[in-house]
Structure formats: structure tokens, C-alpha cells
Amino acid sequence: MSAHSHTATRHLAALLVLALSLAVSAHASPTREKSTWNYDGGVFLETDGSLPGEHCFRIQGRVTSDHFFDDLKRIDEKGLNTVFRRGKDVITEFPEQLLLEFSLFDMPCPSQLRQAGASPRTYLTRAEVSGLHLSLYWKRGLELRPLSGFKPVGFSVRQLVPFDVDAKDLPEKFEWNYALSVPSTGVPLTDSLVLIFRAPGGQIAARVAARL
């Protein structure tokens, strides 16, 4: 067989392999993108807020309910609905009650971090935090539904110890801790719990959502 014949044979074999691979690909099932979220420990939330006069703060917390969130997983598959599972069971709604716990503490404002040599910043006072008003909502899509019936079940104020315990005339710094019992009977897991903090004048000081 001539060299030309060998080359033609190789080209024909390559074309047959390519055609076969294209045929297999055309009949193969499309690959599904899948992501899984685990909610052991509850649903966590965090945001920054501010009050007039460059008083800024951070809120950190979580939503729990006994062992409800243990081994609870959210499974998202491309082209399919979101499913929440615990083991083999499909879970669709929150339990009757949720426990919302969060802490509020002082943080420097971004402008204060950028200003070299700025005057000493002021810190949140008990009066300023006491003046904040908290509203809770269930959010579905763009709809916010006011949530009533939540009750305080815990509250404490902790004074933060400065790094330099021997320093004099330092302003007092505190951490405020809250715990609320939130009714949630019949609320689907696809809804989000929204917290909105308002200053005495009505302006929003902070907003954060706990979402699965």
C-alpha cells in the first residue's frame, strides 16, 4: 500500500471516530448542575448598620429551633425546584416556633477608618440602642408581610473590656444580646425572615435577612 493510501485510511478512521462521538453526545442526558447547602447549627445572619452622627454597629445572629435544622439540607438542581430534605424526608415548612438570637455591638464607620489623624470617635450609648425599633417580616419574592406575636425571651448587656486594661479615660463599650421567640407555623422554608432596625426618626438603621 502506498504512503498516500495510508494517509487516506488514517483520515477516514479519524472521521469515523468523530462521527461516533458526536452521535453518542447527541443521545446523552444533559449534565445537571447541583448544589447542596447544610443548615446544621441554624441559619446565620450578619450586617452593618449606622445611626446619625457616625455611630456604626454590627449585628450578628442566627435562627434555631431545637433540633429542627440538624441534618437539614437544601438541594438545588438546575431546571428543577428547590427541595429541602432531612435524610429521606422532604421538609416544606418551618416548625411552630423559631428562636432568633442576635448581638449588636459598636463598629467604626468606613469614613472613620479612612481618616488619618481624625478626632477620637464616639461609641454607641445605652440610650441610642434603646431608641432602636425592631420590626420583623416574612419575605416572599418582593412581598414583605409584617410579623406580629414575637416575644422577647432573653436580653443582656455586656461591657467589653479594652485591650489595654490599664488605660485611663476610655469610653465605655458594650455588646447587647437579644433572644426572641418567633411564631412560624405554616411558613414555607422558601420564605425569609427579615429584620429591620429603625432609628427614633423612622429612618432605617440596619436591615438583614435570615434565608435558607
Residues 72 and 102 both lie in one domain: yes
Q: Compare 167 and 98 and report the one with higher pLDDT.
A: 98
Q: Is 109:54 a contact under the CB 8 Å cutoff?
A: yes
Q: What does the pLDDT read at residue 172?
A: 79
Q: What does the pLDDT read at residue 16?
A: 39
Domain count, the chain: 2
With cell 433540633, the residue in question is 67
Residues 47 and 132 both lie in one domain: yes
Rama region for 95: left / alpha / beta (φ>0; ψ in -120 to 50; rest): beta
User: What is the domain range of residue 129?
Assistant: 31-210
Q: What percent of the chain has pLDDT over 70?
A: 75
Kindly report, residue by residue over 4-26, the tens digit of the pLDDT. Answer: 444 444 544 444 343 434 333 33
Q: Compare 115 and 108 and report the one with higher pLDDT.
A: 108
Q: Is 196:45 a contact under the CB 8 Å cutoff?
A: no
Residues 24 and 75 both lie in one domain: no
Residues 136 and 153 both lie in one domain: yes
Kindly report, residue by residue over 112-158, the tens digit of the pLDDT. Answer: 666 555 556 678 888 999 999 999 999 999 999 999 999 999 999 99
Residues 60 and 131 both lie in one domain: yes
Residues 8 and 96 both lie in one domain: no
Residues 127 and 111 both lie in one domain: yes
Predicted TM-score of the model (pTM): 0.78
Q: Give Cα separations from 147 to 18, 97, 107, 197 (angstroms).
A: 61, 13, 29, 14
Residues 172 and 101 both lie in one domain: yes
Residues 56 and 12 both lie in one domain: no
Residues 66 and 155 both lie in one domain: yes
